[in-house]
């Protein structure tokens, strides 16, 4: 196979998928129904705008009854596009040792479950909020740290075929509405980002555990990663110093899974959580001055 850029590999894979779908006489919507994805998601993947999880590609191949030779070519394009090492090699080389296995595992997981309490997961943070967090901890050189978090946040867009579920404490929202910051728009931007994900992202679910209904005892922040193809499910706890890795401890995984189920059982629904974010947005707008007008920008 000739050496193509990552973007070209994704486009070529998309072209093959389009041809196979059209030959079967299926619309994007009909194919989406068979695969369990919306038509916009199918369109995005066919246009090479996002990577495709290997498990989803295998299902795609089965549904379209693609012959083995063509299927192998598709898998090679997909594998090459997913192994985008050149793009982030320099940054990853400068990352702490704990980041590499965690980031790779998060890329491969079919289901990602995150409980972060009052903390907003890095996967859900805006860049402005990231910068504010690092500066609050007194870090001066934050370029690599921000890049690491942006890589993880980008997973939401790169792999829309995954399932991402986030549980946070209700107090995480209240901390945002009461935050003291040099930039009054950081909190507002973060709330709006969460609301946009909650309302519009096809793979992400964000729910809040209310003050008056949470479990008395629960473990620290943790992430649960669940895989397909018999790969061992795992979990880890993340701290301000990095990750305490419990990648192969079955007992820890089972404990975290029980904690997740306990928290999930009392969390607000996705709709109730979105309403909470809308209320937070309204609160912030009521106390924040109008955003400064940029030079040359017309008044509305």
φ/ψ region of 65 (left if φ > 0, alpha if ψ in -120 to 50, else beta) reads left
Query: Hey, what CATH topology would domain 6-82 get?
Result: 434 Repressor (Amino-terminal Domain) (1.10.260)
93-287 CATH pick, 3.30.870, 2.60.450, 3.50.50, 3.40.50: 3.30.870
Q: What is the pLDDT of residue 91?
A: 47
| Pairing of β 234-239 and β 163-169 | unpaired
Instruction: State the pTM of this model.
Output: 0.65
Q: What is the pLDDT of residue 247?
A: 55
* First and final C-alpha spacing in the chain: 53
Q: What is the pLDDT of residue 300?
A: 29
Q: What is the pLDDT of residue 80?
A: 65
Domain boundaries, the chain: 6-82, 93-287
Q: Which residues of the chain have pLDDT under 70?
A: 1-6, 80-100, 135-145, 180-184, 213-219, 229-230, 239-249, 288-300
Residues 300 and 296: their CA atoms lie apart, in Å, by 13
């Amino acid at each position: 196979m000739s050496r193509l850029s990552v973007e070209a590999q994704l486009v070529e894979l998309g072209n093959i998928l389009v041809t196979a779908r059209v030959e079967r006489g299926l619309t994007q919507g009909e194919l989406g129904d068979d695969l369990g994805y919306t038509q916009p998601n199918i369109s995005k993947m066919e246009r090479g705008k996002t990577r495709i999880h290997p498990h989803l590609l295998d299902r795609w191949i089965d549904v379209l009854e693609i012959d083995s030779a063509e299927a192998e070519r598709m898998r090679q394009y997909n594998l090459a596009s997913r192994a985008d090492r050149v793009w982030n090699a320099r940054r990853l080389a400068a990352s702490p040792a704990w980041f590499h296995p965690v980031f790779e595992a998060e890329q491969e997981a079919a289901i990602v479950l995150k409980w972060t309490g009052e903390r907003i997961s890095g996967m859900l943070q805006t860049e402005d909020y990231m910068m504010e967090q690092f500066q609050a901890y007194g870090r001066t050189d934050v370029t690599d740290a921000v890049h690491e978090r942006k890589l993880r946040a980008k997973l939401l867009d790169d792999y829309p075929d995954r399932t991402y579920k986030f549980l946070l404490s209700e107090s995480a929202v209240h901390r945002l509405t009461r935050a003291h910051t040099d930039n009054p728009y950081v909190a507002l931007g973060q709330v709006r980002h969460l609301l946009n994900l909650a309302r519009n992202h096809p793979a992400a679910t964000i729910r809040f555990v209310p003050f008056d209904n949470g479990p008395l005892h629960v473990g620290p922040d943790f992430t649960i990663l669940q895989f397909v193809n018999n790969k061992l499910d795992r979990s880890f706890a993340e701290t301000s110093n990095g990750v305490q890795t419990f990648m192969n401890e079955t007992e820890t995984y089972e404990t975290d899974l029980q904690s997740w189920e306990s928290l999930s059982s009392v969390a607000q629904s996705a709709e109730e959580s979105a309403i909470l974010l809308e209320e937070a947005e309204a609160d912030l707008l009521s106390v924040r001055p109008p955003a400064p007008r940029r030079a040359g920008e017309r008044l509305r």
